[in-house]
Structure 1
Amino acid sequence: MLSCGHQKEFNNILFNINKLNFYDVLIPGLPFGLADSNEDGRITRDEIQELLVLSAAANRLSKLKEQAEEYASLIMEELDPENLGYIELWQLETLLLQREAYMNYSRPLSIASGENWQRTWILMLWFLTMACLFIWKFKQYKNKAAFQVMGYCLTTAKGAAETLKLNMALILLPVCRNMLTFLRSTRARFFIPFDDNINFHKMIAFAIAIGIVVHVGNHMICDFPRLVNSSPEKFALIASDFHNEQPTYMDLMVGVEGVTGITMLILMAFAFTLASKYFRKNLVKLPSPLNRLTGFNAFWFSHHLFGLVYILLLIHGSFLFLVHKWTQKTTWMYISVPLIIYLLERSLRTGRSEHYSAKIIKVSNLPGDVFTIIMAKPNGFKYRSGQYIFLQCPSISPFEWHPFSITSSPGDDYLSVHIRTVGDWTQELKQVLNNDNGSPCTIGRAKFKKLGDVNSKGLPRLLLDGPYGAPAQDYRNYDVLLLVGLGIGATPFISILRDLLNNNRAVEDQMDSNTETSISGDSLTSLASSSMASSSDNKKKSKKAKVANFYWVTRESGSFEWFKGVMDEVAEMDHKGQIEMHNYLTSVYEEGDARSTLITMVQALTHAKHGVDILSGTRVRTHFARPNWREVFSKVASKHPNSTVGVFYCGMPVLAKELKKLSYEMSQKTSTRFAFHKEYF
């Protein structure tokens, strides 16, 4: 074994080498020469095991540390076939230099996108509409007698009010999920960037905030004081609008217009504040009991205050100082249709969630604070890969709904989701779905009574709402896919991979069936008709056959357990190599780095002998560090010239910027067009 002094020296080398190439370290015999404690040029199995333990520690691979003895024996088996009990140092160095021979198993396993111009024309239309409404109302009030009393303060306030009416109507539409899901399946997807619905919702909210400041500010600071302090001669111009009695400032504030306006201002300021990133994501630390104002729950509940805001808005718009004809009170005209759509949307969600009561089949705990729920697919429930659902657990909260990507395929007879415990609700859900001893539970359908009941053990029921459209569901529009998942962001793509695998399998089965039919035909006519049908079917099926490149980037090796079954299934069933899977583990130093070279060699040896990757436990090779995305795009472009590649990303916003930029650059520099779609979690 390594002496204490050698261990410290080895650790210093591993942690202080700043991305040295393996060959730079190997030439002087370091760090592997340190294993030769007596400097006789021989290394024992125990010394190799110690090297593996230290390398695993440097790369934060706890599982590999536990299996160091097994992998040390594998190296000895490879280099010491005569069972001498040791190997020569030069043998280990030679094996490491020739490791590329073992690494050839990364074979395929069995312009910016249109959203740029879509986003541009939508925003231009929105800005132009607001500008036109503001100017129209501004000029309208400039020609009124009230302008002589209150001046441009009045025209500015009224112009801002007109934009507020528009935006209070528009802000409802991006959150009408059923409507958006339907529109995604129509030609509207070619003109409207549905992927940006939440961003547009936030932009409208920002415009509303600006409109409120301009509208309320001009009223309270400018035109109200001018009205109150106007001369009798000037007030006479508009005296009929105030029952021929000049109001005081307090009269204006305590009237219906003032009370509803101030109340809306307070409610919206409260809701806007709790919807900000700092409060919504618990970045603000408040003392108890004010800490209840942070987090998702506070954001969700405060948003429901807008129900009261819309009632007040209708009242506010019906009592105007200077407008008396109902045809000129246009607030209800703006918001009635969007409000009806939204109310129908909420009613549909409520009714459907009661109908789609999920019957849990199995709950499994996975590494990395992740658990999966497998449910029986409700009757009539149809969805597409890439879509998501909302789940509610009434035993936790009868009001909270949380979104999760569907990880099962539409062709499966069950419904599955993978959930990471990142908040109070998911943590509570994990607890109620597990037994008292913390072990996962398997629940049979027979344990459930009629819809809405729970079994005798008190296991909770889950309500299901959906499915809803997401960017990933548009994968069917492309023949070549580049799927990039960051951590738990891989979930929408697992369903896509399952669906592609099922489709490819169906194509193969159809071809086999057509071949048998052709051979066993009773006549030339039946043979010809069978061939024509086969050709037609194959053409239809071929349009659905996709080439997918899946890149999964995670920092914890335990994450690979989440979708191990899918990766093994793809490796076994993808005979034509239409699906390439690439796993990247960012906690390990990049390949070629001295700190990960020994692990790379063990990885290659293990796969060559057993066909299994030591880190993922599957046939899919695990790469180290982060992908070189420019090389990834270049490789896809060279393999698929003159094609349109659908780039789908799900993860944190930081990587999305890089992928979007590369999609644009590579679309300009190559004949391949990359259409970028993003989804954040």
Structure 2
Amino acid sequence: MAKGFGQCVNLNCAVILLPVLRRLLRGAAEKYDRNNVFPFKKAVEFHKIIGLAVFCSVFGHLFFHYLNFAFKSEISVLSFGNAAYITGGILTLAMALIFSGAHYTVRRANYEIFWSTHHFYTVFYLALLAHAPHFWQWLLIPVFLFIQEKKSRAATRGQRKIFVESAEFIPPVLNINFSPEKFEEFDFRGGQYLYMLVPAISEREWHPFSMSSAYGDLEASGYVSLHIRVQEPGSWTYRLKEYFRLIAGQGGDKPQDPFLANTLHHYDAAGNKKPGLHSGPDGKPLLLIDGPYSSPTQVYSSYRDIILVGSGIGLTPSASILRSVLRHKWKKGYYPETIRFCWILRANEIDSFHWFIELLADLSERVASDRLSGAIDDSHYLELNIYVTGTDNSDLDVSTKSPRSKDAASGREKTGSTSISNREIHIDPNILRKKLLNPEIDSKDQPEVQIAETAAPNRMEDIWIWRGRPNWDTVFNSTQESIINRRKARGDHIALVQDESEVGVCFCGHPVIGKDLKKRCAKFTKTNDQMIKFTLNAEVF
């Protein structure tokens, strides 16, 4: 048994290197997988699964060897020698450090711990090579590809010249807008992420961040946006915020005082003043960028219907996707045609996400204007649901709420797409914020409120505000029913509607919500008889 688990260790420790070959996987996805047939964009998730297999294999190998030692110690020492127990202990300790630092709570609270402990993989592999004489045969090809990946990154990482256009801090979110010197060198899509290094803070630490900008924004606005949640004092993000406070030349009586640096500039070779700053007071670049890289949520454009879910600072991929679709893709006739967006927000964090509140107001206003002008037609459906928790009566249990009836779904689809008269369309973010601070309607009443013919007090165009957590059965059922009703309206046979056979559920946020969404995807895929599959695409780092 110990030998069998040992072979499993060899296999899994060789395979686990493949998902971290980000550049190789990105190239393969762009060249060979334009239709998202292969799960290249779920490499991190696969890496975690293999990591768990490594843990179980090492534990099994260790357990049975110690059983051998307990009952036949002399034979075990003669067979394997003392060195095997020493190297085995070293690699087990290294694995324990790696796994401890990789847990979600550690990674979220202090990314530096995750980054530092994960680099004990060098100790782990050296100990494993010494422990298992034949492991090099398993490792040969993966480690060759891994070294090539490392060399490629070292040669090109941070080579692009980056200019920071502005930096704004409104607790606890730091917004950085940057632009590459050559736009064509930074080709990105909605939902992708990048790695950022700030030499003034650390010469070695690369931190991943999702971009909140949309595909097309770089050409339109001239910059790419990042929204970064600042962690506790002493953390990397806190030092980043304080560094840009220094760049802005704005002190503060308290560390949480907001600041804005929007006049950053440089001079070109001809002495002309240009927007954006490249170097800091120490002469080092303000930012170095590596990426962008693919993520699971990036596949949203391959679905006709999507359920988009965001919570916490995991909202940034949602912002990017909404911007991409509502500002650009819908006008060009690209998928997805229908979007049901769900944002779970705590009441005490409303002001932290002022930027996103303003974005939702702007996007809903744009969609309403586009409908009025005929730029988009009735086939495009948008529903922006905001669920505010942490208010009075927000903890109502709505998980047992029955799915809506087919008639209700039909009526909801009819009233969900706003009918716009000839009037000026304007959504005031301040009024939206006021509604968020005091949501009037419980989320358990969502089906009845959305099918009502009268104007709902919690609605502003395509934006719906609810008190309490979402009832996922309602959201999934309404999506399923709308597809069925669309098929009936066109008279299409189920077997002929290939582009309606799968709904993309794109999520970035807390793992607890991700697990709930995974259960709902399995439940509604299994129980419906309309050949509609719900596929979860969850973003993790």
- Aligned pair partner of 1:552 in 313, 338, 343: 343
Verify the 8 A CA contact 1:407 1:491 in the aligned structure 2.
Answer: yes
Following superposition, the deviation at residue 387 of structure 1 comes to 0.9
- Aligned pair partner of 2:476 in 633, 655, 660: 633
- Aligned pair partner of 1:394 in 187, 190, 199: 199
Greater helix percent: which structure? 1
User: SS of the residue aligned with 1:422?
Assistant: coil
User: SS of the residue aligned with 2:158?
Assistant: helix
> Which position in structure 2 is the counterpart of 1:648?
506
> Which position in structure 2 is the counterpart of 1:161?
6
> Which position in structure 2 is the counterpart of 1:206?
55
> Which position in structure 1 is the counterpart of 2:497?
none
Verify the 8 A CA contact 1:487 1:559 in the aligned structure 2.
Answer: no
Measured in 1, the distance between the counterparts of 2:533 and 2:15 equals 33
Verify the 8 A CA contact 1:361 1:445 in the aligned structure 2.
Answer: yes
- Aligned pair partner of 1:426 in 231, 237, 241: 237
- Aligned pair partner of 2:26 in 164, 181, 205: 181
Q: Give a deviation string over 1:165-197, Cα, whole Å, max 9, x none.
A: 112111222333233334444449535485322
The one-letter code of the counterpart of 2:114 is F
> Which position in structure 1 is the counterpart of 2:293?
468
TM-score (norm 2): 0.70
The one-letter code of the counterpart of 1:352 is T
User: SS of the residue aligned with 1:678?
Assistant: strand
Alignment pair present for 1:441 and 2:261 = yes
Verify the 8 A CA contact 2:194 2:290 in the aligned structure 1.
Answer: yes
- Aligned pair partner of 2:528 in 669, 675, 681: 669
Distance 1:588 1:312, change over 3 A: closer
List alignment gaps of at least 5 residues for structure 2: 253-258, 270-275, 397-423, 435-459, 488-499
Alignment of 1:88-237 (within 5 A): 156-185=1-30, 186-187=32-33, 189-192=36-39, 194-195=41-42, 196-214=45-63, 216-217=65-66, 220-221=69-70, 225-226=74-75
Following superposition, the deviation at residue 569 of structure 1 comes to 3.3
> Which position in structure 1 is the counterpart of 2:305?
480
Verify the 8 A CA contact 1:157 1:218 in the aligned structure 2.
Answer: no
Alignment of 1:225-304 (within 5 A): 225-226=74-75, 252-253=81-82, 259-276=86-103, 295-304=110-119
Alignment of 1:457-536 (within 5 A): 461-504=286-329, 506-507=331-332
Verify the 8 A CA contact 1:183 1:189 in the aligned structure 2.
Answer: no
Measured in 2, the distance between the counterparts of 1:260 and 1:656 equals 38
Measured in 1, the distance between the counterparts of 2:105 and 2:535 equals 32
The one-letter code of the counterpart of 2:539 is E
Distance 1:462 1:581, change over 3 A: same
Deviates more, 1:430-439 or 1:182-191: 182-191
Greater strand percent: which structure? 2
User: SS of the residue aligned with 1:404?
Assistant: strand
The one-letter code of the counterpart of 1:167 is N
Measured in 2, the distance between the counterparts of 1:281 and 1:406 equals 17
Following superposition, the deviation at residue 493 of structure 1 comes to 1.5
> Which position in structure 2 is the counterpart of 1:571?
364
Measured in 2, the distance between the counterparts of 1:494 and 1:168 equals 37
Alignment pair present for 1:412 and 2:217 = yes
Measured in 2, the distance between the counterparts of 1:485 and 1:498 equals 14
Alignment of 1:235-384 (within 5 A): 252-253=81-82, 259-276=86-103, 295-318=110-133, 330-366=134-170, 368-379=171-182, 380-384=185-189
Measured in 1, the distance between the counterparts of 2:181 and 2:63 equals 50
- Aligned pair partner of 1:585 in 388, 393, 400: 388
CA RMSD of aligned residues (A): 3.5
The one-letter code of the counterpart of 1:569 is D
Q: Give a deviation string over 1:477-513, Cα, whole Å, max 9, x none.
A: 1011111111222210111112112434653xxxxxx
Distance 1:315 1:393, change over 3 A: same
Distance 1:359 1:224, change over 3 A: farther
Verify the 8 A CA contact 2:213 2:225 in the aligned structure 1.
Answer: yes
Q: Which has the larger radius of gyration?
A: 1
Measured in 1, the distance between the counterparts of 2:471 and 2:508 equals 18
Measured in 2, the distance between the counterparts of 1:502 and 1:620 equals 15
Verify the 8 A CA contact 1:174 1:200 in the aligned structure 2.
Answer: no
> Which position in structure 1 is the counterpart of 2:516?
658
Equivalent residues, number: 431
Distance 1:422 1:446, change over 3 A: same
Greater relative CO (CA pairs within 8 A, separation 6+):
1
Distance 1:645 1:227, change over 3 A: closer
List alignment gaps of at least 5 residues for structure 1: 1-155, 229-246, 283-294, 319-329, 508-541, 594-607
Verify the 8 A CA contact 1:408 1:417 in the aligned structure 2.
Answer: yes
Measured in 2, the distance between the counterparts of 1:171 and 1:270 equals 17
User: SS of the residue aligned with 2:433?
Assistant: coil
The one-letter code of the counterpart of 1:612 is D
Verify the 8 A CA contact 1:170 1:204 in the aligned structure 2.
Answer: no
Distance 1:316 1:447, change over 3 A: farther
> Which position in structure 1 is the counterpart of 2:355?
562
Measured in 2, the distance between the counterparts of 1:491 and 1:227 equals 55
Distance 1:589 1:469, change over 3 A: same
The one-letter code of the counterpart of 1:402 is H
Q: Give a deviation string over 1:610-640, Cα, whole Å, max 9, x none.
A: 7536243786645132333222222222222
User: SS of the residue aligned with 1:483?
Assistant: strand
User: SS of the residue aligned with 2:195?
Assistant: strand
User: SS of the residue aligned with 1:582?
Assistant: strand
Matched-pair identity in %? 29
